[in-house]
Structures are given as C-alpha cells and as structure tokens.
Amino acid sequence: MGRAGGAEGLGDSDQRFERCIPCRNVIPEAKERLRRYVPEPVLRVRRKVLSLQRQIPLVRLSYVPRANTTLKERKELVQQVRTADSGIFCAHTTAEIEALIAAILDIPPSVEGCIVEAGCFKGGSTAKLSLAAKLTKRRMYVFDSFAGLPQNAEEHSRTIFGDKIDFHAGRYKGRLEEVKANVARYGAVDVCEFVPGWFEDSMPGFHERIAVAFVDVDLASSTATCLRYLYPLLVPGGSIFSHDGHLPLCMDVIRDDRFWSDVVGAPRPPIPGLGRRKLLQITKPKTPAPSA
C-alpha cells in the first residue's frame, strides 16, 4: 500500500535540497556580507532556481496519475497545500509533504484505517494532511501536548547534517486553539480529532486501525512511545513516517532490534535511508516475517 518508495521516492535532487537546509541557516549577518560580493543577477537566478526546486514535488503530486483521485482533485489539493504553506510556519519541505500526501492518496479504498499525526507544532502539516484525509474519506487523529516538548534529559548535540540541536522544555509549542484555528482556515478540521496530552498518557487508550502515521516528536523517548503504541495498530502495508531520521538518539531507537522485539512486539521492518535521511518510511509488511 502506498506509493512505491514513499519517502524512498524522494529523488537525488530532493535529497540534496534537504541536506542543504543547514546552509540556509547560516547567520544572517554572514549572509549579508557574502551578498555584497555576489552580483544581483546571480542572486536573482539563485532565488528562481530554489523557488522552482521547491515547487517540483507539488507539480509531481498534481500530475502523477493516482488510481483513487482525479487530476482536478489533485490540482485543487495542491493549491490548498500552497495556500496553507503561505499562511502557517511549517517545519517540513515540499518533498516531505509530497511523500506523506502521496501515501495517503494511494491507500486503496478497500483498506480500512485512519490517519494519525504525532507532534503537530502550529498545525501546518495537520492542515495539509487533513485535506488528503478528507479527499480519501478518512478520519485523522492529532496527538500533541499542545505545550511544546516535555522536560527531558536527552543529550542531543548535532543532527547527521551538522545542525546544532536544542530541545528544551516548551519548545515547538502550538496551543490547541491556535492549531485548530490554522486547520480550520487552511485544512479540513471536520475530519480531525485532537488528542491533547503527553504521548505516554494519550496513546495507550487509542485502538483505531492506522493506514498512515506521521511522527515528528524530536525526542528519543517520544519516538519510542509512538512506535510502541502506533506500529501494532498499522494495517499490513501501512506506514509510519518519522521526521526524526536526522537525530542520532532517535535513530538509535529506530534501529534497535531488541526494542522492536521486546517493546513493539514485532521484528524491525526494513527502513530505507536510515542514517541518511530525515524523513523515514517504516512500512509494516503485508505478510508476517518468518519466525527465527
């Protein structure tokens, strides 16, 4: 189920663009100094190239045929995604949101299962994914503390791309009212159910079958909680997308075979791009893995 490859389908140019994200975080003063020595025509060309590069995934989403949607529906969806992108601060790239939406659109109508998001920040991804959920007639459940990151003692240093990490308590806070307002304005709030609270409190009582989940939680402990409670609910062929593949401590959890067998209760499935990509697609096998 889902597009062949999903996150794996991100092309080399998309991956290079994702890895260039740290380059765009250079200290503004340094960037200003560099601009003095670069001719304005060169800067204009660079801006146009970057703009086009950001649009390629959405063009692809519009025009690549999908069995369950029409061209008109996909073009309307992409326009709504662009509008949401301009109105809400989002922490994902267009290539990443394309992979997520494509996975939702490619779920066969005969397959039951809801859409789940864990960690929604200001509701940017929530709004976009809710549009895909509504188009495919699925419910979406949004798990978040709505108070930012919890207190934690995790010693994060840098991402695999070299960025410094700061995961202090309260960071990435989006208030429930703020998120709902953003989704109501830019998404499909009528298909969403918001589940406030820390994951270890809110997820154990959740028992809906899941077709696609998006997990963007930053902490290794939260990653472990989400995999523990969400993976067993995945339909065969369903996928959990982790947006934390660039964080070494989260990678340690995701690649830990003992964690999968003892805590999740299933063998670790193949995870393309582990250790190299930020967005990871963890797909549940359609047939159980043979016993060792």
Question: What tens digit of pLDDT does each residue of 254-273 get?
Answer: 999 999 999 999 999 999 99
Is 60 exceeded by the pLDDT of residue 170?
A: yes
Q: Place 55 in a pLDDT band, splitting at 50, 70 and 90.
A: confident
Q: Where are the alpha helices (DSSP H) in 36-138?
A: 40-63, 71-87, 94-105, 124-135
What is residue 157's predicted lDDT score, i.e. its pLDDT?
86
What is residue 242's predicted lDDT score, i.e. its pLDDT?
98
Domain ranges for the chain, please list them: 6-283
3-state helix, strand, coil in the chain (%, to 5): 45, 10, 40
Q: Residue 14 region, left (φ>0) first, then alpha (ψ -120 to 50), else beta?
A: alpha
How far apart are the C-alpha atoms of 278 and 251, rounded to whole Å? Answer: 10
Average pLDDT of span 235-251: 97
Average pLDDT of span 106-121: 96
What is residue 137's predicted lDDT score, i.e. its pLDDT?
96
Question: What tens digit of pLDDT does each residue of 7-26 get?
Answer: 544 443 444 434 444 444 44
Strand order in the sheet with 280-283: 192-196, 140-144, 114-118, 210-215, 234-242, 280-283
Pairing status of strand 140-144 against strand 114-118: parallel
Between 1 and 280, name the one with better pLDDT: 280
Between 53 and 214, name the one with better pLDDT: 214
Average pLDDT of span 186-210: 98
- Report domain 6-283's class: alpha beta
Environment class of 254 (CB within 10 Å of its CB; exposed 0-12, middle 13-18, buried 19+)? buried
What is residue 217's predicted lDDT score, i.e. its pLDDT?
97
Is 60 exceeded by the pLDDT of residue 46?
A: no
Question: What tens digit of pLDDT does each residue of 79-96 get?
Answer: 999 999 999 999 899 999
Average pLDDT of span 94-112: 95
Percent of the chain with pLDDT over 90: 72
Q: Place 27 in a pLDDT band, splitting at 50, 70 and 90.
A: very low
Q: Is the dihedral of CA 257, 249, 126, 180 positive or negative?
A: positive
Between 14 and 154, name the one with better pLDDT: 154
